[in-house]
Amino acid sequence: MTITILGTNHLMSKEEIYELIKKSKPQVIAVELCQTRYDLMVLPIINNVPLVESVNNTDNGLISQISNAVRDKVKKENLQYGSDQINSCIYAVENKIPLEFVDLDIMRTKELMDKIPQSEKEGFFKELIEFQNKPITELVKDVDEEEILKKLKVMYPIAYEFLITIRDLYLLSSVLKLEKKYHNKRILVIVGKGHKKFLEENLK
């Protein structure tokens, strides 16, 4: 049994992610999604129906505002929102490879993020304003994920626990369950680069 962790920036093209998957020759594909996000982001594409814009269009929570801001920006820049995860799922479906979801459900993450202190929420909104003023390709170019995580931990310690620590542990737990479920199978786990190091170190 082999587990390979593939770290992405969530903006990889379909061609790029397909090529990386083919090189790994996985027997199982696991993605940094939950069933809720799969139903919203991937199933409509597979079934050729209009995408649902959000879990709840009237939701004014922090996660929804961040997600909507990112979605609007990538749309304007002719990019695909969560392209790595979406196309990994599509590849699995097209090639009849077992597909697994390893992330905490988005509704639980939303609940947690709505509990962070007001000072941290205000900080995120300031970051969003800066985010709107730069092209996404510039924002993700030559990014040092470790430095970003260090900054996040210092500036937004509660949000860091909810967005990174809890989800890292959930991802790890999910991958370990897959190890038992798919004994002696090649498992490719596709996650954001910020989770890759934690998973690799702890899987050892």
**Conformational region of residue 183, where left means phi above 0, alpha means psi within -120 to 50, and beta covers everything else:** beta
Count CA atoms within 13 Å of residue 102 on its CB side: 29
Q: What is the pLDDT of residues 24-43, one digit of tens each?
A: 999 999 999 999 999 988 99
Q: What is the pLDDT of residues 4-19, one digit of tens each?
A: 999 998 888 899 999 9
Q: What pLDDT score was predicted for residue 57? A: 46
Cα(196)–Cα(200) distance, integer angstroms: 6
CB atoms within 10 A of CB 152: 16
Q: What is the pLDDT of residues 63-113, one digit of tens each?
A: 878 877 777 777 777 777 789 999 999 999 999 999 999 999 999 999 999
* pTM flag (> 0.95): no
Domain ranges, ordered by start, for the chain: 2-203
CA distance readout (Å), 133 to 19, 80, 130, 144, 196: 32, 19, 5, 20, 28
Residue 140 phi/psi, 5° resolution? -95, -5
Residues 184/2, Cβ–Cβ less than 8 Å: no
Count CA atoms within 13 Å of residue 33 on its CB side: 26
Residues 102/178, Cβ–Cβ less than 8 Å: yes
- 131 pLDDT band, cuts 50/70/90, is confident
Q: What is the pLDDT of residues 161-204, one digit of tens each?
A: 999 999 999 999 999 999 999 999 999 999 999 999 999 999 98
Tokens of 7: 């770290």
